[in-house]
């Protein structure tokens, strides 16, 4: 199957190839389903190829499953090569793969910190670089990087994860400046707490926004049709973050403590659900599905 580029210059994913990292489950799977429903072709890249194949089979002939380890630049390039060979020129890349260990900072293991940065930061940088290199000669394309609202506001128990998502937010800002006028859009998706394996063991708390993977998928699909620089999910969260930015750090920290936001993630540390997820995220389990959202 080889898709031709639509003749219209209006940005849209319909009829074009979108590659999705960590696409076998969670946000990635929901995004693939939403985009196929809107007429796009999707390449689902994942470390769990069997699960990716199951996902692609459910979505039909507009979806293909391909192996992908985002920490390996050669594997990432091979993923994009195969996706283009089978489905046509790359229009958009959704950098979605990520892991989220929860731990007090001084108890974080070096291996966990490095793996978090390898997947959440270097994987996004590698994918963005490889995709943009393909898009520049065509004067068209879109890179969508899935960050987190933890990339705008640090959370106790998530120090390295927050650092990785702050890095993605900064990367997107720099790329937008560098790519201005090239025809290539860069969008940063900022979800609240999403009901996926990534948040296993995280209990609900008052005033903590919790959303579904389909909510994020809709936001990604919408921004591919109508590019936006930063996309909060839900949108209502944007006002809160902007208002918080007007407060001094001391006042903001005190407010968050009063709301209990400083305890939500830290309270999940050590739970049975977190141990199971983090074993898989570290690659210690024979079933690697929790390495992605």
Given 91, 161, 241, 277, which residue is catalytic? Answer: 161
Neighbours of 275 (CB within 10 A): 13
Catalytic annotation on 161? yes
* Contact status, residue 85 vs residue 135, Cβ threshold 8 Å: no
The alpha carbon of residue 43 and the mean position of all alpha carbons in its chain are separated, in whole angstroms, by 15
Going by C-alpha positions, the residue among 57, 77, 78, 18 that lies closest to residue 217 is 18
Render the chain in DSSP notation, one character per residue: --PPPPS--S---TTSEEEEETTTSHHHHHHHHHHHHTT-EEEEEES-HHHHHHHHHHH-TTEEEEE--TT-HHHHHHHHHHHHHHH-SEEEEEE---------GGG--HHHHHHHHIIIIIHHHHHHHHHHHHHGGGT-EEEEEE--GGGTS--TT-HHHHHHHHHHHHHHHHHHHHTTTTTEEEEEEEE-EESSGGGTTPPP-TT--EE-HHHHHHHHHHHHHS--SEEEESTTHHHHHHHHTTS-HHHHHHHHHHHTTTTTTGGGTT-HHHHHHHHHHTT-SS-GGGG--
Going by C-alpha positions, the residue among 108, 178, 94 that lies closest to residue 136 is 178
Which residues does the annotation mark as catalytic? 161
């Amino acid at each position: 199957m080889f898709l031709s580029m639509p003749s219209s210059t209006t940005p849209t994913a319909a009829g074009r190839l979108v590659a999705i990292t960590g696409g076998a489950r969670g946000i990635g799977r929901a995004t693939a389903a939403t985009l196929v429903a809107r007429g796009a072709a999707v390449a689902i890249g994942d470390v769990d190829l069997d699960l990716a194949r199951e996902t692609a089979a459910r979505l039909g002939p507009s979806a293909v499953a391909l192996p992908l380890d985002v920490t390996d630049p050669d594997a990432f390039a091979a993923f994009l090569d195969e996706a283009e060979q089978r489905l046509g020129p790359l229009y958009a890349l959704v950098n979605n793969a990520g892991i989220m260990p929860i731990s007090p900072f001084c108890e974080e293991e070096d291996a966990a910190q490095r793996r978090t940065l390898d997947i959440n930061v270097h994987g996004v940088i590698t994918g963005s670089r490889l995709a943009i290199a393909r898009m520049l000669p065509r004067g068209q394309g879109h890179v969508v990087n899935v960050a987190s609202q933890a990339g705008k506001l640090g959370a106790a128990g998530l120090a390295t994860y927050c650092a990785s998502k702050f890095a993605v937010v900064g990367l997107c800002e720099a790329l937008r400046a560098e790519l201005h006028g090239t025809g290539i859009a860069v969008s940063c998706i900022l979800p609240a707490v999403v009901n996926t394996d990534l948040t296993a063991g995280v209990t609900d708390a008052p005033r903590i926004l919790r959303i579904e993977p389909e909510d994020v998928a809709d936001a990604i699909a919408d921004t591919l049709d109508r590019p936006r620089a930063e996309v909060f999910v839900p949108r209502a969260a944007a006002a809160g973050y902007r208002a918080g930015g007007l407060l001094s750090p001391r006042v903001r920290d005190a407010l968050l403590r009063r709301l209990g936001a400083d305890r939500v993630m830290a309270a999940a540390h050590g739970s049975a659900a977190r141990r199971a997820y983090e074993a898989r995220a570290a690659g210690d389990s024979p079933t690697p599905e929790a390495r992605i959202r």
